[in-house]
Amino acid sequence: MIRRIALTVLLGAAYPLSSQAIPTASRAADAQVGFGYAAGRPDYVQQTFPGLAAYADLDLRPHLGVEAEFHQIASTSGNLMREQTYEIGGRYLCTYGALVPYIKAMAGIGVLRYPQGLTTLGYAMFAGGAGADLKLTTRIHLRGEYEFQKWTSFPNGGLTPQIVTVGVAYHFDGRLRSR
């Protein structure tokens, strides 16, 4: 009888002790902020403009994320023409070791400063793009990207600028540590 009671107590006490360990860290999200060199064809004139780009990514799921992006490209011929875009949208990504290819769909505002700087106007725009990040280290990522834009509210059928960006990003640690 005592053996049965002892065995019941031991087996009953063993159940709560058999649970798995609590993880010390879990990934909440991946985030990175970067900047780069951009070269674009504004479509208003048939010339390639150099410029810059800044971007921020927040990947909430293993394959889904959000990106915010800014581009500015400007004429080097002295005519004061410039294009700026402010975009936000979603991205789909896959990870293959150090390589992270992605596609994205964006919406935003495109701002065009016309030749000779006579006026500056903003237009609604959409963009699609594809690129890849290369993880040089856990913190530093190199990016190459192509983006096609459609400025829908621009007169006479819209503008279709194209931009290529090469950049570098700082990747933030996306882990929450328990204390």
From residue 120, how far is each of 71, 89, 111, 117, 124 by CA, in Å?
Answer: 16, 25, 7, 7, 14
Instruction: Provide mean pLDDT across the span 61-86.
Output: 94
User: In terms of C-beta density within 10 A (0-12 exposed, 13-18 middle, 19 or more buried), how is residue 86 classed?
Assistant: middle
CATH of domain 27-177: 2.40.160.20
* The total number of residues written for the chain in this structure: 179
Partner residues linked to 163 by β-bridges:
40, 147
Q: Which of 102, 166, 175 is nearest to 138 (CA)?
A: 175
pTM across the whole model: 0.79
Tens of pLDDT, residues 87-97: 999 999 999 99
| pLDDT above 90 (res 18) | no
DSSP 115: G
First and final CA of the chain: distance in angstroms? 45
Structural domain spans, the chain: 27-177
Residue 178: predicted pLDDT: 42
Q: Mean pLDDT over all residues of the chain?
A: 87
* 1-5, 34-38, 74-78, range with the lowest pLDDT: 1-5
Residue 12: predicted pLDDT: 57
What is the percent of the chain where pLDDT is above 70? 82
Instruction: Provide mean pLDDT across the span 135-157.
Output: 94
Instruction: Provide mean pLDDT across the span 127-148.
Output: 97
Confidence at 173, pLDDT banded by 50, 70, 90? confident
Burial 52-82 (b: 16+ CB within 10 A, else e): ebbbebbbeeeeebbbbbbbbbbbeeeeebb
Residue 8: predicted pLDDT: 59
